Amino acid sequence: MATRIISEEERRNEWLSADDQPLYEARKRIYPQRVSGYFRNVKWFALIVTLGIYYLLPFVRWDRGPNAPSQAVLVDFPSSRFYFFFIEIWPQEIYYFTGLLVLAALALFLMNAVAGRVWCGYLCPQTVWTDLFLLIERWVEGDRRERIQSDESPWTFTKVRRKTTKHLLWLIVAWWTGGAWVLYFADAPTLVWQLATFQAPAIAWISIGVLTFTTYSLAGLMREQVCTYMCPWPRIQAALTDEYALNVTYRFDRGEPRDSLKKSEARRAKGLPSGDCIDCNQCLAVCPTGVDIREGLQLACIQCGLCIDACDNVMEKIGRPARLIAYDTDLNIQRRLQGKPEIYKMFRPRTILYAALIVVVGLVMVSALVLREDLGVNVIHDRNPVFVRLSDGSIRNGFTIRILNKELESRFFAVRVDGLTNADVEVVGAKLQGNGQAIVEVGPDQTREVRLLVTLRHAPPESSLPIVVQVTDLAGGHSAEARDYFRGPGHEEGGKR
């Protein structure tokens, strides 16, 4: 049988019939142009504030006394604590993070209901770092036109030098981003010194390496692809939005029919209809995600407002009113076309609900923080054996009690067991007061475990007797208690509590 040799292109054409589409669209390289204006300034402000906080916060000190770290924000894994200025979170209080996540989600919903993807356009780390990387790119390689020309031209010494400089600067920023992250997990000045002298632990180097790679890849190489293809938020927010949410919108009621400035002026001179858009494509040139907003609201649009600035600059130059592109709604466009007044509804059921939930969750968290106890106690019953029969016939139960001292100084606690009559109570390692009261010392901001032995001279008639273990601070009088059961032989015989 004759073998037909086909070219690569023929083979592809055989696979792709006229109706077939490739599974993945080839990436179109985007060269965002520099732009100035109100929204650009808002974005610079957001960038400086957010990056300033991120890079500098680990160096802010907070005096908590001699027995606690002096870093304002610290995730202290060795002692299982999270410090945030005057707040100290213990492992048992991890639910505060749940509250914070709920608050963050509600804030995102509220932002979305008011003004679309404000988070994406101004505050999202991907946006902020991409902005920073673009700034470096422009500084090294020039603005849009120069970068396009450079990429289309053959490799020269200047081109290699510029590309190398850009990538080196990106790597330095990415490295410092990873470096700042690990400073939240150790005393920042100490760790900086250890990094500078190559004495830092391996985990610090590994973490910085991973974050350097992710920052460089996401903000330098992948950029808008992260927002368009990887991030789930655009899909979620599309389901959460409504007709009153403000979005960056091309006001086609004003812009169409569009034409070049020359033709547009000629049409106007003849009294023919002509829109304000002069088809200059400046809005598209500045867009960091390559969106032409005149085609309507799109998934890739991060609502950064830069196209508003670009168009406003054009309108100012040609003497037409600003805000041909603006934060607006399709509903208002339709109403203007119908000669009806615009509607802006900031206060509507969903925004009121989100705001109310933010207030309620915030108040619950603040109250929980203000009212939380500065001591705690947990009791764990021995499992094997559950009880011991002593040689004189009495029954003994063993427990481990864990006392939490959340104050930054040592405290003495009296331990008491209630619920049993004629029981002998022994706290192993405790000091005894004159009245036989067991006293346990717990160091500052520490947890201490002690053994508690409770003995009854006669086997209890019930399988289990409820007990209350109470610890009381000798100085302040505060107390905490935990409940458990004293178990006897009936327990083995299948008796219930």
Give contact residues for ligand SF4 (rule: CB under 6 A). Answer: 248, 255, 277-283, 286-289, 291, 293-294, 301-307, 310-311, 314, 324-325
In this complex, which beta carbon is closest to ligand SF4, that of residue 248 or of residue 401? 248
Least separation, in Å, of the C-beta of 158 and ligand SF4? Answer: 30
In this complex, which beta carbon is closest to ligand SF4, that of residue 228 or of residue 447? 228
Q: Would you state the structure tokens that stand for residue 190, as one six-digit string?
A: 């100490």
In this complex, which beta carbon is closest to ligand SF4, that of residue 51 or of residue 306? 306
Query: What does the alpha-carbon distance between residue 250 and residue 311 come to, in Å, rounded to a whole number?
Result: 10
In this complex, which beta carbon is closest to ligand SF4, that of residue 180 or of residue 325? 325
Among 473, 469, 404, smallest CA distance to 90 is for 404
In this complex, which beta carbon is closest to ligand SF4, that of residue 122 or of residue 399? 122
Least separation, in Å, of the C-beta of 220 and ligand SF4? Answer: 19
Among 90, 85, 87, smallest CA distance to 61 is for 85
Assess contact for 402 and 456: CB atoms under 8 A. no
CA 424 from centroid of its chain's CA atoms? 52
Token look-up 């040609």 returns 318
- H helices of 142-218, where? 144-152, 157-182, 188-196, 202-215
Assess contact for 409 and 67: CB atoms under 8 A. yes
Query: What does the alpha-carbon distance between residue 355 and residue 77 come to, in Å, rounded to a whole number?
Result: 34
Least separation, in Å, of the C-beta of 369 and ligand SF4? Answer: 39
Least separation, in Å, of the C-beta of 309 and ligand SF4? Answer: 9
Least separation, in Å, of the C-beta of 115 and ligand SF4? Answer: 11
Query: What does the alpha-carbon distance between residue 341 and residue 322 come to, in Å, rounded to a whole number?
Result: 19
Assess contact for 489 and 459: CB atoms under 8 A. yes
Neighbours of 351 (CB within 10 A): 19
In this complex, which beta carbon is closest to ligand SF4, that of residue 92 or of residue 281? 281
In this complex, which beta carbon is closest to ligand SF4, that of residue 277 or of residue 404? 277
In this complex, which beta carbon is closest to ligand SF4, that of residue 232 or of residue 434? 232
User: Which of left, alpha, beta for 393 (phi over 0: left; psi -120 to 50: alpha)?
Assistant: left
Least separation, in Å, of the C-beta of 285 and ligand SF4? Answer: 8
In this complex, which beta carbon is closest to ligand SF4, that of residue 147 or of residue 294? 294
Neighbours of 102 (CB within 10 A): 16
Among 379, 383, 377, smallest CA distance to 414 is for 377
Q: Quick one: the chain helix, strand, coil %, rounded to 5?
A: 45, 20, 35
In this complex, which beta carbon is closest to ligand SF4, that of residue 326 or of residue 430? 326
What's the Cα-to-Cα distance from 99 to each of 72, 253, 366, 456, rounded to whole Å?
A: 21, 44, 10, 44
Least separation, in Å, of the C-beta of 131 and ligand SF4? Answer: 11
Among 390, 496, 375, 377, smallest CA distance to 453 is for 390
What's the Cα-to-Cα distance from 246 to each of 43, 200, 277, 292, 321, rounded to whole Å?
A: 18, 49, 21, 18, 20
Q: H/E element holding 451?
A: strand 446-456
Least separation, in Å, of the C-beta of 377 and ligand SF4? Answer: 55
Least separation, in Å, of the C-beta of 219 and ligand SF4? Answer: 16
The pairing of strands 375-381 and 395-405 is antiparallel
Cα-Cα-Cα-Cα dihedral of 421, 423, 429, 435, to 10°? Answer: 60
In this complex, which beta carbon is closest to ligand SF4, that of residue 153 or of residue 281? 281
In this complex, which beta carbon is closest to ligand SF4, that of residue 286 or of residue 379? 286
Least separation, in Å, of the C-beta of 278 and ligand SF4? Answer: 5
Residue 47 DSSP label: H
Least separation, in Å, of the C-beta of 347 and ligand SF4? Answer: 25
Least separation, in Å, of the C-beta of 281 and ligand SF4? Answer: 5
